[in-house]
Structure 1
Amino acid sequence: MKWTDTLDIAIELYETHPDVDPQYIRFTDLHNWVTALPEFDDDPERSNEKILEAIQLAWIDEAE
């Protein structure tokens, strides 16, 4: 997975952290959790606030 795979990342995060409310996650934690996903294969430095926000929003949608 790459940073651009926001929906796939959100699904993985939802399955990996089912007890977390994504509305209240800090971007630093989100970044760390994304880069720790087994299938994630992108440069950790390529993320930015816009990408992290898109992942967070997709995760919120997935959780609902």
Structure 2
Amino acid sequence: MTLTWKDTLDIAIALDEAHPDADPRYVRFTDLHAWVCELDGFTDDPEHSNERILEAIQMAWLEERD
């Protein structure tokens, strides 16, 4: 599966699987950005992210946990 910054839910699911002990509420955006870029299948340009996208991923990750 190929992931881009627009795939917030799929990224959130992948992050939850890759970092099960992390609490999304306390992950810094710099770490979140790095973790997304390290995901298998992530093919988008790392420079195309912004705070709004990272926040959407974080919120989706929180919802996935609930």
The runs of 4+ residues in structure 1 deviating greater than 2 Å are none
**CA apart distance, 1:2:** 0.4
Query: How many Å separate the matches in 1 of 2:11 and 2:41?
Result: 9
**Secondary structure class of the residue paired with 2:43:** coil
Unmatched tracts of structure 1, length 5 or more = none
Of the candidates 56, 60, 63, which is equivalent to residue 61 of structure 1? 63
CA root-mean-square deviation: 0.4
Unmatched tracts of structure 2, length 5 or more = none
Of the candidates 22, 25, 28, which is equivalent to residue 26 of structure 1? 28
TM-score normalized by the length of structure 2: 0.95
Q: Which residue of structure 2 aligns with residue 13 of structure 1?
A: 15
Quick one: which amino acid aligns to residue 15 of structure 1? E
Give the length in aligned residue pairs. Answer: 64
Percent of pairs identical after alignment?
66
TM-score normalized by the length of structure 1: 0.98
